[in-house]
Amino acid sequence: MSSVQNKFWRYVLPSMASQMLTGFFIIVDGFFIGQRMGDTGLAAINLLWPIAAVIQASGLGLGSGGSVLLASALGAKDEARALRARGNALLCLGIASLVLTVVLWFTYPALLVWLGARDQLYAPAEEYVQVVVLCCAAQVFNSGLNPLLRGAGRTISAMAGMVMGLLCNIFLDWLFIMPLDMGMRGAAMATVLAQFLSAIFQLVCLVFQKQHPMRAAQFVPSLPLLRRLVVTGLSPFGLSLSASILILFNNWQCLRWGGQSAVATYAILSYLLGSLQPLLTGIGEGMQPLCSYCRGAGDEAGLHRLLVRGLRLILLFSTALCAGSIVLRGQIPALFGASAATAAGSEFAIVCAALSLPLWGVVRLFSSYFYATHQTRRSLIFIFGDPLVVSPLCLYVLPLFAQLNGVWLAAPAAQAILVLLLGWMLWRNRTFAN
């Protein structure tokens, strides 16, 4: 693709906007729940969030896996293979929706208790999660169709779907939680209805694409294609899910070292990072179709230029977000309706979370680059190594010396370790060599 560099902003900016809107979904829920239900609502939704995250990550992983194969095939000028990848990805999204609905409906009571939603936190958590589980399909397809649209070059349509979903979510959250006083169940209904409308819009855009018409033959399962799709999708699946795995470990340590108030403080951090990190993720996700296209076309020089440009951009944005969060650390808790006691104890935690952003952004950029160029093993090292090894280790060790402050320090410490590992890997493989 000779013009691939000229398309950088056309792909990256809509992707950043789409991911930023995803972050706004989190802010909207947190704002209305916090204003109506206070610390109890914030803590409950934070404890149950890994269940919702598995659903969304499944859709995103399958959709992104299909997007990588779609864009790579287009780069290799193999349109038939590209369209089969798209059809098989849609087939996978449908199967995943059904499986997740059945499995989670029978397991969510035990999962909630395991996640820490006990006593007064169980009832509000159950109200939310019941709606989420019954409406798995809306979330799976909304998450999965967005990367498929970007892989097909429909970046503006992907962003428009997210804008529509966000506006619906804001209105419905206000309607169900404030005037109708439907509590946690209302918040869940607002979210899934907004995701359903967004998914319908994106599906229409994908189905009626004139350049790449949809045919029934494209949905015939191809085992080699499905295998590659799932393997490739493991990286974006883990990338999306890793934050929620960390929420699980952090919640456990917060309960151990600070009780429900600490969980409410961590809920504020989750909303903060959940609204800022998607903006950074959007840079790598926006580059993904271009990187996959260059890989399919054998354009190594183009890949190098894309990576350098993406790295510069992510350092600029992550540093700005870090500085802004530190400056506003006293005002952020009030946005989510936190109590005065919780707000007072949140400032140090917000500073630690903010300092982790630039490091986190660099690691996630390279993770996206690795899976976009079929370097799946390297991508998985960072994506699963963070939530399953490095961060849990920091969360266990640091509180032994700094108690609750050690929980907050674990985030920047873990990301620093991962950046050092990434630097060693890049030096060893001379990724930036001319």
pLDDT digits (tens, 9 = 90+) for 281-318: 888 877 877 887 787 777 787 788 888 888 999 999 99
Q: Please choose, from the candidates 112, 104, 15, the residue with its C-alpha nearest in 3D space to the C-alpha of residue 55.
A: 104
pLDDT digits (tens, 9 = 90+) for 129-149: 888 888 888 888 988 888 777
Confidence check: pLDDT of 409 > 70: yes
| Gap between the Cα atoms of 416 and 420, Å rounded | 6
| Amino acid at residue number 304 | H
pLDDT digits (tens, 9 = 90+) for 380-400: 888 888 888 999 999 999 999
Q: Please choose, from the candidates 46, 50, 431, 48, the residue with its C-alpha nearest in 3D space to the C-alpha of residue 240.
A: 50
Q: Please choose, from the candidates 206, 153, 156, the residue with its C-alpha nearest in 3D space to the C-alpha of residue 1.
A: 153
Supply the pLDDT for residue 210: 65
Confidence check: pLDDT of 233 > 90: no
Confidence check: pLDDT of 118 > 80: no
Among 103-107, 113-117, 281-285, 415-419, the range of highest mean pLDDT: 415-419
Tokens 């802010």 sit on residue: 27
pTM exceeding the 0.85 threshold for the entire prediction:
no
Number of other CB atoms surrounding residue 164 within 10 Å: 17
Confidence check: pLDDT of 34 > 70: no
Supply the pLDDT for residue 357: 94
| Amino acid at residue number 291 | C
| Gap between the Cα atoms of 131 and 120, Å rounded | 19
Supply the pLDDT for residue 338: 65
What CA–CA distances, in Å, run from 109 to 117, 133, 206, 252, 284? 10, 12, 37, 18, 36
3-state secondary structure 36-87: HHHHHHHHHHHHHHHHHHHHHHHHHHHHHHHHHHHHHHHHCCCHHHHHHHHH
User: How does 84-106 read in b/e, with b if 16+ C-beta sit within 10 Å?
Assistant: bbbbbbbbbbeebbeebbeebee
